[in-house]
Amino acid sequence: MAADTHVEELLRRPLYVYDLPQELIASITLKGEDQPITLKDNEEHVTKKLEEAAQDYAIAASTSCTLCKVSFGNVQEQREHVRSDHHKYNVKAQLRGNPVLNEVQFTKAIGELDESISGSESSEGEEDQGGDQLTALLKRQAKISPATEGEEVTSTMKSTAKHPLLWFSNPLLPPNTSLGVYRALFTNVEQEEPRHLADSLKKKQLAAAHPPKSNGSGLGKHPSPSPHIFLCMIGGGHFAAMLVSLAPEIHRRQGGIEERQARVIAHKTFHRYTTRRKQGGSQSANDASKGAAHSAGSSLRRYNEAALEKEIRELLSDWKEMIDEAQLLFVRAAGTTNRKILFGYDGAALKQNDPRIRGFPFSTRRATQSELMRCFKELTRVKVSQVDEAALAAAEAKQREETLKPSTPRPQQQQKPKVSKEDEAAMVHTTQIQALIRRSKIPALMSYLSKNSIPSSFTFLPSDTQQNFRCPTPLHLASNLDSPAVVLALLSKVSADPTAVNGEGRTPFELAGDRATRDAFRVARHELGELKWDWDSAKVPSAISKADVDSRMERERKTAQEEESNRRKVEMDRLKKEEVERAAHAIARKGGRALGGVEKTAAEKREDEMRGCLVGTLRSQYVMNDPLVSNKHLCIYTVLFDQDNPEEIAPLAFEEEYVITNRKLGTGAFGQVHMAYKKGTGEQLACKIVDLQSLRDSLVKRTKAKHSKAWAEKEYDSNGLRHLQRYISQKLQERFDVYDREATILEKLLHCTVRKFSEVINKATLKL
Distance CA 715, CA 700 (A): 23
Contacts of 205 (CB under 8 A, 6+ apart): 18, 19, 20, 25
Buried b / exposed e across 452-483, counting CB within 10 Å, b at 16+? eebebebbbbeeeeeebeebbbbbbbbbbbbb
Q: Which 3 state secondary structure label does DSSP give 637?
A: strand
* 709 annotated ligand-binding residue: no
Distance CA 356, CA 592 (A): 54
DSSP letter at 514 equals S
Contacts of 181 (CB under 8 A, 6+ apart): 17, 165, 166, 168, 201, 382, 383
Which of 158, 160, 114 lies closest to 134 in space, CA to CA?
Answer: 114
Which run of H or of E encompasses 741? helix 718-748
Strands 383-386 and 258-271 turn out to be: unpaired
Percentages of the chain per state (helix, strand, coil), in multiples of 5: 50, 15, 35
Handedness of CA 573, 578, 579, 580 (dihedral sign): positive
Distance CA 312, CA 300 (A): 18
Torsion of CA 568, 573, 576, 582, to 10 degrees: -110
CB 169 within 8 A of CB 31: yes
Which of 614, 649, 665, 650 lies closest to 741 in space, CA to CA?
Answer: 649
Beta strand extents in 493-624 (DSSP E only):
none
Which of 533, 460, 447 lies closest to 495 in space, CA to CA?
Answer: 533
Q: Looking at 55, 141, 283, 434, which residue is catalytic?
A: 283
DSSP letter at 643 equals S
Q: Which 3 state secondary structure label does DSSP give 165?
A: strand
Peptide bond into 194 cis (omega under 30): no
Distance CA 564, CA 566 (A): 5
Counts of helices then strands in the chain (DSSP H, E): 26, 15
Buried b / exposed e across 213-247, counting CB within 10 Å, b at 16+? eeeeeeeeeeeeeeebbbbbbbbbbbbbbbbbbbb
Q: Strand 329-333's sheet: what is its strand order?
A: 258-271, 238-252, 228-235, 329-333, 357-358
Beta strand extents in 560-705 (DSSP E only):
636-641, 658-667, 671-678, 684-691
Q: Is 283 a catalytic residue?
A: yes
Buried b / exposed e across 342-352, counting CB within 10 Å, b at 16+? bbeeeeebbee
Q: How far is CA 469 from CA 71, 464, 477, in A?
A: 23, 6, 11
Classify residue 713 by burial, with Cβ atoms within 10 Å: 0-12, 13-18, 19+: exposed
Which of 228, 189, 190 lies closest to 209 in space, CA to CA?
Answer: 228
Strands 357-358 and 636-641 turn out to be: unpaired
Which of 366, 348, 199, 334 lies closest to 270 in space, CA to CA?
Answer: 366
Strands 684-691 and 70-71 turn out to be: unpaired
Which of 58, 81, 10 lies closest to 183 in space, CA to CA?
Answer: 58
Handedness of CA 546, 547, 552, 554 (dihedral sign): positive
Q: List residues forming the annotated binding site for ATP.
A: 688
Q: List residues forming the annotated binding site.
A: 688
Supply the residues annotated as catalytic: 283
